[in-house]
Structure 1
Amino acid sequence: MTFVSFAEEVKNEAAHYKPENSACRYAELAALLCMGGSIILGPKQTTGIEFSTSNNAVARKALSMWMRTFSIRPEVLVRQGLKLRKKNIYILRVIPSHESTHILEELSLFPHAGEFHNLQLKKTDCRRAFLRGAFLGGGSVNQPNGDYHLELVTGNEIFAKRILKIMRHFRLPAKITDRKGEYLVYLKEGNGVSSFLQYIGANQAYMKFESVRVLKDMRNNVNRIVNCETANLQKTVDAAIRQIQYIYTIQEAGLYDRMTMKLQEAAKLRLDHPESSLSELAEFSGLTKPGLMHRFKKIADIAKTIEGQRKNEN
């Protein structure tokens, strides 16, 4: 059984989302080809393009959008996966010609790739289509039960900044960085990743992400509560041990009976209930918690005075 990553699930679903209109189809196709394609230079200043992907659904989506938009039919090639890399590589190749050159200019892929002056990117649905194409062409996202991380990788800085601008238009907390000549536009926050999946039309992936995220957050909250309770329990135990040690110090010095009745009452309460918290001791005795704290502080002061005198004698 072949393992399908969450990123592949998202791409498979987004690849079946149909653009709302021709303007959105242009935007999605342009982003897809700019992200995963490379320009082919031909004779007489003609240009073509070659697009490659390991995702069959993405390849079919690219071919379908191209055929619905332009009359030139791309060559379709399949490069068999190697033994260590079982996935096939699907290649769409448009041979350089004057017509293909004009098409690439229409898509803003040549000569100034990434600027997209010819696309209608002021419309919300076209912006969403543009992000969908960018993700299909060069996006990835972590499994929802791991660290939240979604990224779009391109070698074109202008294109990367356009992606960043559109993501921020949707109030997504995206950031950009460069790594070895490539530009990464990324999200590292759960709400941002979740919203991005919705924007590109991957609703099933969004539901899966959210369900896993809710369970993950619940587990984290439970762990925080347990850790907090454990820390509080340790503080209670440490405080009780210190108080008992102070009482023993006073007893060994023969000064226990010289303490006031209030302090003796507090000392007896602690010795009778060595594992109880201060709140529980207050409940047992009918005293207030601040009142008990004050008494234990007095006992501590007496014990520390005794310990100080012993050090001076030595």
Structure 2
Amino acid sequence: MSFAEEVKNEIAHYKTWDAACRNAELSALLWMGGEVLRGSRGQLGIAFTTSHNAVARRVLQMWRQAFSIRPEVRVRKGLRLRKRNYYIVQIPPSAAGAAALQALAVWPENKEAAPLSLTGMEVQRAFLRGAFMGNGSVNQPKGDYHLEIVTTRLFLAKVVLRLMKRFHLPARMTDRKGAYLVYIKEGNGVADFLQQIGATQAYLQFESVRVVKEMRNNVNRVVNCETANLQKTVDAAVKQRRNIEILQAVGKYGKLSLKLQEAAELRLANPEATLSELAAKSGLTKSGLSHRFKKIALWAENEGQHKNEKK
């Protein structure tokens, strides 16, 4: 079971006692995963399809609590490689069905208004919970942080985005192949969203994995930084020794000042020491010792230029 399926399974068992919250959640579910069925003389029904058994049971339970119409439930085998079952909760077209869909604001489809009034924080959380169950997904916390809700209806995506913003979630919206995605790519944002929709266990699991992941990343950053600093130290020491050896080879070492010779002898005696360690041994400051090595480097560089001119 994927992490997204775990989240949906958990929130599909969330206890909802308030009728307004139940209707908001059911409305979002039907908007996301339902298809309105039209009969004669204004009769309407709906077919809700999902691959999650717990979500199908959730829709069936909430519908029975709200309306007297008995839904039909069918199971269809998937045709793709995974061959997952698809659960269809269907309300056949009828006058009562039309009234129910109107009560849930699923019909008529008004592209300029919100599906429901959605007043109150709990009602808004319920709508987001239903939207996620209907067509949402979230990555495993071990990977990149990404949560999204997808719909083919632009106005519905705007409603979801507006509700997320009300809870101060860092959500954004984009379009992809005729669909609209409302997504969150920040770890804190994903965690907050899971809390808002009532996925407590998924939130705790997400945060637990995220803490370990961030600790590991911090350790790696420190190790990488130390490795880079160590490499710089080694490169600097090698270059300093090479400059000294150049001056020795051409017989110019003895022309260095006593201070420069002291620095050179210190480096030759301690080929792997850091500049800080050499400074501590010499009683000089790091900047003072570094200045001496720069002068030695200039001498070596001048010798290299003289050789090139003679050639």
Deviation per CA, 1:71-129, whole angstroms, max 9, x where unpaired? 11111111234583342111111111121112111211111256665734131111110
Deviation per CA, 1:150-204, whole angstroms, max 9, x where unpaired? 1111111110110011001111111111111111111111111111110110000
1:187-202 mapped onto 2 (5 Å cutoff): 187-202=184-199
Tell me the distance in 2 between the aligned counterparts of 1:178 and 1:163: 14
Residues 47, 97 of structure 1: 8 Å contact kept: yes
Q: Is residue 137 of structure 1 aligned with residue 137 of structure 2?
A: no
Cα 1:67–1:267 change in 2 (3 A) is: same
Q: 1:260 maps to what in 2?
A: 257
Letter in 2 for 1:162: V
Secondary structure (helix, strand or coil) at the match of 2:36 reads: strand
Cα 1:194–1:118 change in 2 (3 A) is: closer
Letter in 1 for 2:204: M
Q: 1:217 maps to what in 2?
A: 214
Residues 114, 156 of structure 2: 8 Å contact kept: no
Deviation per CA, 1:190-233, whole angstroms, max 9, x where unpaired? 11111111011000000000000011111111111111111111
Residues 77, 92 of structure 1: 8 Å contact kept: yes
1:115-194 mapped onto 2 (5 Å cutoff): 117=114, 119-194=116-191
Cα 1:211–1:67 change in 2 (3 A) is: same
Cα 1:242–1:172 change in 2 (3 A) is: same
Letter in 2 for 1:171: H
Deviation at 1:277, TM superposition (A): 1.1
Tell me the distance in 1 between the aligned counterparts of 2:114 and 2:242: 79
Residues 20, 125 of structure 1: 8 Å contact kept: no
Residues 114, 159 of structure 2: 8 Å contact kept: no
Q: 2:306 maps to what in 1?
A: 309
Secondary structure (helix, strand or coil) at the match of 1:173 reads: coil
Question: Identity over the aligned pairs, expressed in percent?
Answer: 59
1:1-314 mapped onto 2 (5 Å cutoff): 4-81=1-78, 84-113=81-110, 117=114, 119-314=116-311
Tell me the distance in 2 between the aligned counterparts of 1:54 and 1:118: 24
Tell me the distance in 2 between the aligned counterparts of 1:139 and 1:115: 23
Residues 113, 155 of structure 2: 8 Å contact kept: no
Residues 36, 52 of structure 1: 8 Å contact kept: yes
Letter in 2 for 1:12: N
Deviation per CA, 1:9-39, whole angstroms, max 9, x where unpaired? 0000000112251111111000011001111
Secondary structure (helix, strand or coil) at the match of 1:45 reads: coil
Deviation per CA, 1:242-272, whole angstroms, max 9, x where unpaired? 1111111111121111111110111011111
Secondary structure (helix, strand or coil) at the match of 1:31 reads: helix
Tell me the distance in 1 between the aligned counterparts of 2:135 and 2:228: 45
Deviation at 1:46, TM superposition (A): 2.2
Decide which moves more: 39-48 or 112-121.
Answer: 112-121
- Would you say how many aligned residue pairs link Structure 1 and Structure 2? 311
Deviation per CA, 1:53-73, whole angstroms, max 9, x where unpaired? 111110111111111111111
Q: TM-score, normalised by structure 1?
A: 0.95
Tell me the distance in 1 between the aligned counterparts of 2:89 and 2:57: 10
Decide which moves more: 79-88 or 104-113.
Answer: 79-88
Cα 1:76–1:100 change in 2 (3 A) is: same
Secondary structure (helix, strand or coil) at the match of 1:221 reads: helix
Displaced runs of 4 or more, over 4 A: 113-118
Residues 243, 296 of structure 1: 8 Å contact kept: yes
Tell me the distance in 1 between the aligned counterparts of 2:223 and 2:111: 51
Residues 113, 159 of structure 1: 8 Å contact kept: no
Tell me the distance in 1 between the aligned counterparts of 2:111 and 2:15: 23
Decide which moves more: 162-171 or 39-48.
Answer: 39-48
Letter in 1 for 2:251: G
Tell me the distance in 2 between the aligned counterparts of 1:79 and 1:240: 71
Secondary structure (helix, strand or coil) at the match of 2:84 reads: coil
The two structures, once aligned, show a CA RMSD in angstroms of: 1.4
Tell me the distance in 2 between the aligned counterparts of 1:73 and 1:285: 91
Secondary structure (helix, strand or coil) at the match of 2:90 reads: strand
Gaps of 5+ in 1: none
